[in-house]
Structure formats: structure tokens, C-alpha cells
């Protein structure tokens, strides 16, 4: 009865048509088309950027030759090397601060019995929805040496000379960037903490490990991929952030790479080629970090959710829960309440000199920045509002459709193509918005899309669709592949499976990604500042314009308007998508 | 299986090869299943059984060979034919059950019929029928996440059989259940499969499961087939040491067949220290005179007594004797070797005692090493 390997000839030659049919499936056609689109969008700007960085502009600014002069400038320029060092210091500081705050707050909210944690969570996430540039403006108004509200109070209440706080320096940049990017880490960690099978923790505690030990040796290592991802994203985002150093650093002699790229590459004596070489330097740092993250984190992704359900439970902190509560409240106070209140106060004054003068209070600043129908309104501000809504809505939608298809290809189709796509999706994360924007600028400056909203849309999607993709992927990895496979076995095609099983199961991830992108686009500054022209200002460019050419109260007024819109987004989307969407 | 001229079996796998990187996960295996039969692929993890199942399902491609069901080619590496999984008309029960958490039990079970564009009334009646068959009628409106493990298992089975597919595949469906539920589900799965009469391929590493449920068992290791046969045959006449060890419990002693006395019978020489003990035995397939072989004797085929019945004399000392009512589970040291023996309770063996072992010659099988 032993069965030998049957070596006999296989019978029957099929028509050659079936060979083609096996290649041209819904799945393979979509894969090829999407891969080509993504490859063109991602690789073209970067390739042009590399080429541009070797073109040297002559002294007259008319013709170019090939050479390394742009790279020599990185070392011998009087400002750029210092900007390089400042950038590294700021990124490290902000990453440490944001990771510590983000992980601790996520843990308090997801795994402990901290009082009113369900109510605290939305407030913890608010800074994430707001613009760090606006945060910098607010903190400048709070803690600038002379005009800062907190310093003015200190002088009046305690009779102190000078100031107690000063954010117009590197520490101020780290502080504002750190608290504003805390929710990035939080969002990366809280989902997996909440989904974590509590029996993993319970089993550690039954071995006699205490609460702290269990948290440090079991809970946090289990979500380590999320923590590291969050930290790296904070680092790279900080490196590419333009608004905070522009507000708190550049005017006081603290230049960073982004402020240097901006001031040397855009302006009256613009030198795109020098901007390109600086972008290459900045991109090299961030790309290296992303590369390290990919190598380190990729083999360590855990599937902690199966098709089986389990009950969630939380740790009892005892009396310490009040410490956790106060800690959380303080974060909300410095990250949300104080900055917004301060902006509101400043925006109601005709001029701001650090004093609240009740008799001067006026709404004139809001009229000038928001009332687009009036001839005396400031065009840069009113244009920005309309443009940003168009960009955010269309950009988020297109990017999520792309993300969904791409994620599915990476995680469910196992071929050479999926590996290529995976790499393509990491590349934009490796390069800050301002760098990619430089690439987009030098690539398309001679095409009709330059000076339209299309170039901004292209820049936005190329840079940020991987965020959406990662959002979907994290949920997809947590969902057993057998749920998809069983639909195929039930007779459903690839597309039907996508529509009826995969997408409904991914809904939280899709919503979360859409919100993430909508908000990012609505407050985007570093790409917009490079790619905008007169008429295609965005909301944040409007704020920039006011900060640069008008006064603090007008800037605060538009900042408050942007903040109100973003806060409204939170409310609308929390209602539409539910709690799970924000924390998935 | 060897008769190539007869009509081909319903499910036919020929020369299947599957590589994972540099690992030849399935190494050119061939087998067939007759219509309505229940075949189990049995082996430890990494033996290639799940890979074989996934190849039949079409959830991955194959590198060589051919798979046919009812005369239809599903996959053929030579002809570069690959039928996508949704066209194969196969029902499958997954290890994780894979019940869709965003649907109710009814929606889960109705899904394959909706895909096949069956009329609404017919869907309703067929779903009701199949839920009754698996005993889930009360749970019809519940969300999948509200079900217990065993209930999810039943729902998964209902979903797999509701469209009356050509073939039913099981990927270790009981391994996530607790022992009691597993034993109950074994019997139930077999009953339901028998009732609906769908040809089935079942993958498991649990030999008890395989013995209870199967019409045929294929024992696999390292990507190839060790033995194929009915449960009784696999148990009573294992082809080699590996199979004998994997199915049930056996005493396996190395030695040599020194003489063939009559067709199928001979004398086996056991190595026992410096002396050689000769015992009569049956000859397994592929075992010839003079060849080194392994003697396989099940514990129930060894008798342990105080009385010496002469040659062949196997004298040892009792290491352990556990009284279990209808028999005594004994371990007997014999030189280097420890015998597993099911002794009769009336012998009242006690640890340390000298005993003589008598092997039943009809069930002492010399097999390939």
C-alpha cells in the first residue's frame, strides 16, 4: 500500500489562452497599475532632486554647470553647519520628550483605572490635530521674554525683573515640538495596548512580577514596535518641521536645516540647486533613521489579535491612579488649554505688548482675516482657508484609496511586486515634507501644474499617503489572513473579498487614516511653504504670511480660526467614526 | 493507490512539489481520495501537510505537479494552469475558524450562497437547514464574536458545507478547542461529513483524531509520505519505525531478521547486551532476511508474568506498575531497554519484582528502520 512518487507524464495540453488568464487577474492588473503610479510619484521627485543638487548656479544666477559646489557649501557656509547641529539637537530632544509623554499617557489611558480616562483621551489627542506652528505662536505669546503673558504675570504678581520663561531658543523649539508630537506616539501605541490580550499580562503577574515589572517587561515590549515607530515618526517629522523653528528659532539666530532650505531656496535670490543639496543632507539623516527602524522593527511585529474575542481588563493602580490623573491633566493644560486661551486673548487686541487691556478688546482681527467678501480682508488668509479645505478633502480621500490597495498588496499578495511596493511606501516617510517638496518643485516647475493646487495635492499625497497605509497595515496585520482566505474559499473573487470582508474589517483603520491625513493636510506648512504661489496659499501659509508681514494679533486670529476648524473636525469625526477610529 | 489503470480517484494529487525559499516543504507527493471519503494528512508540524492542503485550496501556487478534482484540473505546474481559489468550489474550515466578526452567524453562513447568487428564499432555507445540522439554530442572529470557540467551529463548518462544495478541507480545526470539546467535535464532524457526504481532506497532528475520523490516513514527514492506509492498517501494520512511533504507543527494538520461516513470518534477533535473543515475528513490508530492522510491539501485545515459559526468555524487573482498574500500566527494565506493558490486573505486579515477558508472535512486527 505504500504510495510511491508518481513520475508519470502529465496528460493533456491546455490551450495557451489559459496561461494568459492566470496572469491577468483582477489582483495582478491592479497591482501593476498601482505600483507604477506609486513608483512614478515617489521616485521622480527624488531623482530630480539628486540631479539638481549637482547643478551649480553661476554668480549671475542665469546658467548652471555640473559640480560639487552645492555640497561644499554645506560644510564651508557660515550658517549651514550650525543649522545641521541645531536640527540634530532639536530632533533628539523632541523625540525623547514626545516618546516619554506619549507612551506614559497611552498606558495610563489604555491599561489602567485612571479616573475619567475616557474623558481625558480626546483632550490628549488635541495637540495632534493642531498645527505645531500655531503652537509655537501661542507659546511665543505665553513665554517670550518681553511680551509673553506668563512673564508679564510674573512681573506683575511677584515683582520679578525680566522674565522667568523664554521659549525663543532651542529648548523652546524642543518643548513645543515635543508636546505637539506626543499624540503621534500615543496613537501608535494606544491601539495595540488596548487590543493586547490581557492574559499576556495576567500570566506575567501570576509568576509574581509586580505591576511595574509586568508593565516594563511584558506590556511595553509587546508594543515596542509601536513605540519605536512612533518615536521614529516624531524624529523625522521634527527634522522636517518648518513652522516651530521658523517662529522660535530663526529670528533669534537659531537656524535649522528647514529654515535654511526655505530662506536660501525660496525668495528673491532663490537658488533651488543649493536648496536641493541641503535637502539631500536633511534627507540623508532621516532616511538613515527610517532604514534603521525598518531593519529593527520589521522582524518584531506581533500578531496579538486573533479571530477569537477576549475581554478587555485594566490594571488597578490603587492610590497612584490620582497621580496618573494629575499628570494627565497637567499635560492637557500645557499642550492645549494655555496655548489656545493665550491665542484667544492676543487675537482680541489691536496690538499686543504683553498686557491684557480689556477696554481695547475688538473683533477687527477676525474680520480682516476671515471676511473674504470684504475688500479690506487679507487675501493670503482668506485664500488659504478655501484652498486648504479643497486639498485636505480630496487629498485624504485619494490617499486612502491608494493606501488600501497598496496595503493589501504588501500584506496579502506575496510576490516580488509586494516587496517593491513596501520599499516604495517607506521612501516618502524617510524624507521630510520640505525635502520632498523641493523635489516636486524642481521636477514640475516647468510643467503646467506648477502654480496650481495640483502640485500641492501631488506633494501632499506623495509625502503622506504612507501614514494612511501604515494605519491600514497595522490593522491588517492584526487581522488573521484566514478571514480573507475563507472568503476566497467561499467563492468570492479578490475584489468581492476586498469589498465585503477586508474593507469592513479595516474600517477603523481606514477612518483613522483618513482623519490623520485630513488633519495633516489642513495644517500642512513645510510642503506648502515651498510649493505655494500667490493665489494657492494654504491655511498655514496664511498664518505664516501674517506672522511675517503683519502683527501678532492678526496671526493669532487666523490661528484661532484654524484651531477652531480642527477642533470641529475632531468632534465631527468622533461622532461619525466613533471612538475606535481615533485610537485604532 | 498503485493501480494506475483504474479510473482515477475523485481528488488526485500527483507529484506535488512546493518550495518555500530554500526549503522543499512538499517533496513530490502523490495520492488520491475516492468520492465521499475522508482522508487525513497526519504528521508533526513542518511535515508539509498544511502546505499540501493550501495547494489543493489554491491559496498558494505550486512548483511542480498536478491537482485534479473530479476530472477538472485545478493546478498544473507543467501546463502553467492555476485556477483561483474562488473558482474551485471548495469548502474550508480554518484553524482560527475565521468567522467574520462583523457579521452575524446567519450572514456568515449565507455568504457563500450570496456569492453564488442563489435566490433569497433558498438561501434562507438552506442556511436554516445547515444551522440545524450543526446545532446552531438558536445562535442564528448572534454576532460571531458572541460565540464560544466550539460554536464558532460549528459556524465555520456550516459556512463550509452550505454551498455543497465538491471538496471539504480542514486545517487543524480542533486544535484550538479544549480536550473535552475536541473529543465531542471529532465525532460530530465525522457524523456531519458522513451525512452530507462531501469528500474531505483533514489536516492534523493529533493521531487520535486521525484514527477516529478517517477512512484513510496519510502519515507525512519532511515533505513526503511515509505511509497511506486505513486507520486499522496504519495502526496494526506500520511500515517503519517513524509511523509505528507516531501512531499509538509501541515498543521499538532494534535488531535483525535472521530467518524467514514461512511467507510473512520469520525470526527476529534482539540485541540484549552481549547475548542475542530470538523471537518469532511477522514481517512487515520491505523487510527481508538478514536485513536490520525494528521490532514493533504494542504494549497490549506483551504479557508480563511471574512464570517462566522457557525460550525465548525475556526476563526483566518491574520499574513501575500503575493500577488502572481493567489493566496495569507497567514499565519493565530489560537491559538497556524499557518495555511498556499493559499487564493483567490479576498478576498484581509490584515495582522491583522479576518478571518474564511474552510477546504475541502474531502482533510482533518487524518493520523498516
pLDDT tens sequence across B117-157? 999 999 999 999 999 988 899 988 888 888 888 899 899 99
Instruction: Judge contact between A164 and A151, C-beta under 8 A.
Output: yes
Chain B nearest-CA residue for A27: B84
Cβ distance of B85 and A1 shorter than 8 Å: no
Is B74 in a helix, a strand, or coil? strand
Q: Best of B96, B107, B113, B226 to disrupt the A interface by mutation (most A CBs within 10 Å)?
A: B96
Joined together, the cell numbers standing for residue B157 give 463548518
pLDDT of residue A152 exceeding 60:
yes
Find cell 482681527 and name the residue: A365
User: Which range is least confidently modeled, A125-129, A135-139, A386-390, B162-166?
Assistant: A125-129
Residue-wise DSSP of A503-571: HHHHHHHHHHHHHHHHHHHHH--HHHHHH--TT---HHHHHHHHHHHS-HHHHHHHHHHHHHHHHHHHH
Joined together, the cell numbers standing for residue B206 give 493529533
What is the reported pLDDT for A24?
60
**Residue environment code for A478-496, b if the CB has 16+ CB neighbours within 10 A, otherwise e:** bbbbbbbbbbbbbbbbbeb
Chain A nearest-CA residue for B13: A6
At A23, the pLDDT band (50, 70, 90 cuts) reads low
Q: In the predicted model, what is the mean pLDDT of residues A295-302?
A: 60
Q: Which of A65-74, A260-269, A544-553, B285-294 holds the top average pLDDT?
A: A544-553
At B79, the pLDDT band (50, 70, 90 cuts) reads confident
Angstroms from B186 CA to nearest CA on chain A: 20
Across all residues in chain B, what is the average pLDDT?
89
Find cell 465555520 and name the residue: B156
What is the reported pLDDT for A30?
78
Q: In the predicted model, what is the mean pLDDT of residues A522-533?
A: 91
Angstroms from B101 CA to nearest CA on chain A: 7
Across all residues in chain A, what is the average pLDDT?
83
pLDDT of residue A4 exceeding 60:
no
**A489 vs B contacts (CB less than 8 Å):** 57, 59, 85-86, 88, 90-92, 160, 169
Report chain B's terminal Cα–Cα distance, integer Å.
Answer: 23
At A19, the pLDDT band (50, 70, 90 cuts) reads very low
Enumerate the β-bridge partners of residue B82.
Answer: B75
Q: In the predicted model, what is the mean pLDDT of residues A236-261?
A: 91
What is the reported pLDDT for A138?
94
- Which helix (H) or strand (E) segment holds residue B31: the answer is strand B23-33
What is the reported pLDDT for A344?
93
Is B344 in a helix, a strand, or coil? coil
Cβ distance of B228 and A3 shorter than 8 Å: yes
What is the reported pLDDT for A22?
52
Report the percentage of chain B scoring pLDDT > 70: 98
Q: In the predicted model, what is the mean pLDDT of residues A526-553?
A: 91
What is the reported pLDDT for A268?
65
What is the reported pLDDT for B16?
94
At B105, the pLDDT band (50, 70, 90 cuts) reads very high
CA distances from A440 to A39, A279, A405, B75, B151 (A): 14, 12, 24, 47, 56
Cβ-based neighbour number of residue A378 at 10 Å: 20
What is the reported pLDDT for A467?
83
Q: Best of A195, A490, A506 to disrupt the B interface by mutation (most B CBs within 10 Å)?
A: A490
Q: With an 8 Å Cβ cutoff, is A212 touching chain B?
A: no
Q: Which of A2, A489, A496 sits opposite B92 (nearest CB)?
A: A489
- pLDDT, tens digit (0-9, with 9 covering 90-100), for A31-42: 788 888 888 999
Query: Considering the entire predicted model, what is its pTM?
Result: 0.73
At B6, the pLDDT band (50, 70, 90 cuts) reads low
**A478 vs B contacts (CB less than 8 Å):** none
Angstroms from B95 CA to nearest CA on chain A: 8
**A18 vs B contacts (CB less than 8 Å):** 79-81
Q: With an 8 Å Cβ cutoff, is A489 touching chain B?
A: yes
Find cell 517513524 and name the residue: B242
- pLDDT, tens digit (0-9, with 9 covering 90-100), for A398-444: 999 888 888 888 887 766 677 788 888 888 888 888 999 999 988 98
Chain A nearest-CA residue for B14: A6
Strands B364-367 and B167-171 turn out to be unpaired
ipTM over 0.85: no
Q: In the predicted model, what is the mean pLDDT of residues B213-242?
A: 92
Find cell 511498556 and name the residue: B340
Report chain A's terminal Cα–Cα distance, integer Å.
Answer: 55
Angstroms from B323 CA to nearest CA on chain A: 35
**B95 vs A contacts (CB less than 8 Å):** 482
pLDDT of residue A322 exceeding 80:
yes
What is the reported pLDDT for A191?
76
- The total number of residues shown for chain B amounts to 369
Report the percentage of chain A scoring pLDDT > 70: 89
Q: In the predicted model, what is the mean pLDDT of residues B258-285?
A: 86
Q: How far apart are CA A415 and CA A436, in angstroms?
A: 28
Q: Best of B84, B143, B165, B236 to disrupt the A interface by mutation (most A CBs within 10 Å)?
A: B84
Instruction: Judge contact between A377 and A166, C-beta under 8 A.
Output: no
Q: In the predicted model, what is the mean pLDDT of residues B208-230?
A: 92
pLDDT of residue A311 exceeding 60:
no
Q: In the predicted model, what is the mean pLDDT of residues B166-189?
A: 88
Q: In the predicted model, what is the mean pLDDT of residues A81-97?
A: 94
Is A376 in a helix, a strand, or coil? coil
Which of residues 305 through 344 in chain A touch B, CB cutoff 8 A? Answer: 306-309
Cβ distance of B102 and A489 shorter than 8 Å: no
- pLDDT, tens digit (0-9, with 9 covering 90-100), for B29-71: 999 999 999 999 999 988 999 999 999 998 888 899 999 999 8
Q: How far apart are CA A235 and CA B51, in angstroms?
A: 42
Assign 3-state DSSP to chain A and report helix, strand, coil percentages, each to 5.
Answer: 75, 0, 25
At A559, the pLDDT band (50, 70, 90 cuts) reads very high
pLDDT of residue A1 exceeding 60:
no
At A17, the pLDDT band (50, 70, 90 cuts) reads very low
Amino acid at each position: 500500500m505504500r504510495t510511491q512518487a508518481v513520475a508519470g507524464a502529465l496528460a493533456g495540453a491546455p490551450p495557451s489562452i489559459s496561461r494568459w488568464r492566470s496572469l491577468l487577474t483582477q489582483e495582478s492588473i491592479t497591482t501593476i497599475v498601482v505600483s507604477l503610479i506609486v513608483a512614478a510619484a515617489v521616485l521622480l521627485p527624488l531623482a530630480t532632486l539628486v540631479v539638481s543638487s549637482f547643478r551649480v548656479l553661476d554668480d549671475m544666477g542665469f546658467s548652471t554647470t555640473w559640480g560639487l559646489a552645492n555640497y561644499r557649501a554645506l560644510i564651508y557656509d557660515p550658517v549651514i553647519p550650525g543649522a545641521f547641529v541645531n536640527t540634530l539637537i532639536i530632533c533628539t530632544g523632541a523625540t525623547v520628550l514626545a516618546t516619554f509623554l506619549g507612551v506614559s499617557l497611552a498606558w495610563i489611558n489604555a491599561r489602567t483605572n485612571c479616573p475619567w480616562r475616557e474623558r481625558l483621551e480626546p483632550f490628549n489627542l488635541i495637540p495632534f490635530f493642531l498645527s505645531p506652528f500655531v503652537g509655537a505662536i501661542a507659546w511665543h505669546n505665553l513665554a517670550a521674554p518681553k511680551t509673553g503673558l506668563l512673564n508679564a504675570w510674573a512681573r506683575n504678581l511677584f515683582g520679578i525683573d525680566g522674565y522667568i520663561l523664554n521659549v525663543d531658543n532651542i529648548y523652546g523649539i524642543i518643548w513645543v515640538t515635543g508636546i505637539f508630537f506626543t499624540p503621534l506616539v500615543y496613537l501608535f501605541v494606544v491601539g495595540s495596548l488596548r487590543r493586547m490580550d490581557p492574559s499576556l499580562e495576567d500570566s506575567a503577574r501570576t509568576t509574581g512580577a509586580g505591576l511595574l515589572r509586568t508593565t516594563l517587561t511584558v506590556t511595553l515590549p509587546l508594543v515596542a514596535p509601536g513605540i519605536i515607530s512612533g518615536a521614529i515618526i516624531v524624529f523625522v517629522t521634527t527634522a522636517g518641521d518648518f513652522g516651530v523653528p521658523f517662529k522660535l528659532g530663526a529670528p533669534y539666530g537659531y537656524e535649522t536645516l528647514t529654515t535654511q532650505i526655505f530662506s536660501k531656496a525660496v525668495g528673491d535670490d532663490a537658488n533651488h540647486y543649493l536648496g536641493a543639496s541641503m535637502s539631500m543632507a536633511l534627507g540623508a539623516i532621516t532616511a538613515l533613521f527610517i532604514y534603521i527602524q525598518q531593519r529593527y522593527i520589521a522582524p518584531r511585529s506581533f500578531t496579538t489579535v486573533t479571530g477569537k474575542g477576549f475581554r478587555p481588563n485594566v490594571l488597578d493602580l490603587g492610590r497612584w491612579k490620582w497621580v496618573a490623573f494629575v499628570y494627565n491633566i497637567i499635560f492637557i493644560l500645557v499642550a492645549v488649554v494655555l496655548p489656545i486661551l493665550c491665542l484667544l486673548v492676543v487675537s482680541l487686541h489691536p496690538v499686543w505688548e504683553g498686557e491684557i487691556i480689556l477696554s481695547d478688546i475688538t473683533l477687527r482681527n477676525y474680520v480682516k482675516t476671515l471676511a473674504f467678501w470684504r475688500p479690506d480682508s487679507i487675501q493670503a488668509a482668506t485664500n488659504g482657508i478655501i484652498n486648504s479645505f479643497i486639498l485636505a478633502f480630496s487629498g485624504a480621500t485619494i490617499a486612502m484609496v491608494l493606501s488600501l490597495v497598496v496595503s493589501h498588496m504588501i500584506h496579502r499578495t506575496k510576490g516580488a511586486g509586494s516587496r517593491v511596493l513596501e520599499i516604495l511606501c517607506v521612501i516618502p516617510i524617510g524624507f521630510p515634507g520640505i525635502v520632498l517638496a523641493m523635489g516636486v518643485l524642481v521636477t514640475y516647475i516647468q510643467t503646467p501644474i506648477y502654480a496650481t493646487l495640483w502640485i500641492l495635492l501631488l506633494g501632499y499625497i506623495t509625502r503622506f499617503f504612507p501614514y494612511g497605509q501604515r494605519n491600514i497595515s497595522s490593522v491588517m496585520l492584526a487581522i488573521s489572513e484566514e478571514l480573507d482566505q475563507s472568503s476566497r474559499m467561499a467563492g468570492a473573487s479578490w475584489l468581492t473579498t476586498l469589498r465585503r470582508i477586508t474593507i469592513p474589517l479595516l474600517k477603523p483603520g481606514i477612518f483613522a487614516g483618513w482623519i490623520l491625513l485630513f488633519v495633516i493636510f489642513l495644517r500642512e506648512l513645510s510642503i506648502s511653504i515651498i510649493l505655494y504661489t500667490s493665489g494657492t496659499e494654504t491655511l498655514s501659509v496664511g498664518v505664516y504670511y501674517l506672522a511675517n508681514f503683519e502683527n501678532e494679533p492678526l496671526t493669532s486670529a487666523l490661528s484661532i480660526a484654524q484651531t477652531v476648524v480642527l477642533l470641529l473636525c475632531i468632534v465631527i469625526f468622533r461622532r461619525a467614526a466613533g471612538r475606535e477610529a481615533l485610537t485604532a | 493507490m498503485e493501480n494506475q489503470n483504474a479510473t482515477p480517484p475523485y481528488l488526485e494529487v500527483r507529484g506535488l512539489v512546493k518550495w518555500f525559499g530554500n526549503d522543499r516543504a512538499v517533496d513530490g507527493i502523490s495520492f488520491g481520495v475516492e468520492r465521499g471519503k475522508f482522508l487525513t494528512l497526519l504528521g508533526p508540524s513542518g511535515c508539509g501537510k498544511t502546505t499540501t492542503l493550501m495547494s489543493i485550496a489554491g491559496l498558494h501556487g505550486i512548483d511542480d505537479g498536478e491537482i485534479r478534482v473530479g476530472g477538472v484540473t485545478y493546478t498544473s505546474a507543467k501546463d502553467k494552469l492555476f485556477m483561483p481559489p474562488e473558482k474551485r468550489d471548495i469548502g474550508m474550515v480554518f484553524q482560527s475558524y475565521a468567522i467574520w466578526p462583523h457579521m452575524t452567524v446567519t450572514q456568515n453562513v449565507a455568504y457563500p450562497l450570496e456569492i453564488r447568487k442563489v435566490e433569497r428564499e433558498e438561501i434562507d432555507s438552506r442556511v436554516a437547514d445547515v444551522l440545524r445540522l450543526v446545532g446552531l439554530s438558536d445562535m442564528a442572529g448572534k454576532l460571531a464574536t458572541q460565540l464560544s470557540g466550539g460554536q464558532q467551529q460549528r459556524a465555520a463548518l456550516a459556512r463550509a458545507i452550505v454551498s455543497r462544495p465538491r471538496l471539504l478541507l480542514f486545517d487543524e480545526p480542533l486544535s484550538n478547542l479544549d480536550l473535552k470539546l475536541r473529543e465531542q467535535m471529532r465525532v460530530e464532524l465525522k457524523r456531519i461529513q458522513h451525512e452530507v457526504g462531501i469528500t474531505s481532506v483533514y489536516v492534523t497532528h493529533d493521531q487520535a483524531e486521525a484514527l477516529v475520523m478517517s477512512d484513510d490516513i496519510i502519515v507525512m514527514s519532511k515533505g513526503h509520505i511515509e505511509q497511506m492506509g486505513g486507520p486499522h492498517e496504519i495502526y496494526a501494520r506500520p511500515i517503519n519505525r517513524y509511523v509505528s512511533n507516531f501512531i499509538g504507543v509501541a515498543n521499538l527494538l532494534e535488531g535483525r531478521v535472521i530467518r524467514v520461516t514461512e511467507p510473512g513470518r520469520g525470526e527476529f534477533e534482539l540485541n540484549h547486551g552481549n547475548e542475542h535473543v530470538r523471537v518469532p515475528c511477522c514481517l512487515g513490508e520491505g523487510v527481508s532476511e538478514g536485513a536490520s530492522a525494528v521490532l514493533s510491539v504494542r504494549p497490549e501485545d506483551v504479557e508480563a508474568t511471574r512464570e517462566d515459559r522457557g525460550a525465548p526468555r525475556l526476563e526483566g524487573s518491574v520499574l513501575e506498575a500503575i493500577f488502572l482498574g481493567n489493566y496495569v500500566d507497567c514499565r519493565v527494565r530489560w537491559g538497556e531497554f524499557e518495555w511498556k506493558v499493559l499487564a493483567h490486573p490479576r498478576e498484581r505486579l509490584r515495582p522491583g519484582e522479576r518478571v518474564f515477558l511474552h510477546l504475541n508472535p502474531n502482533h510482533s512486527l518487524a518493520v523498516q528502520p
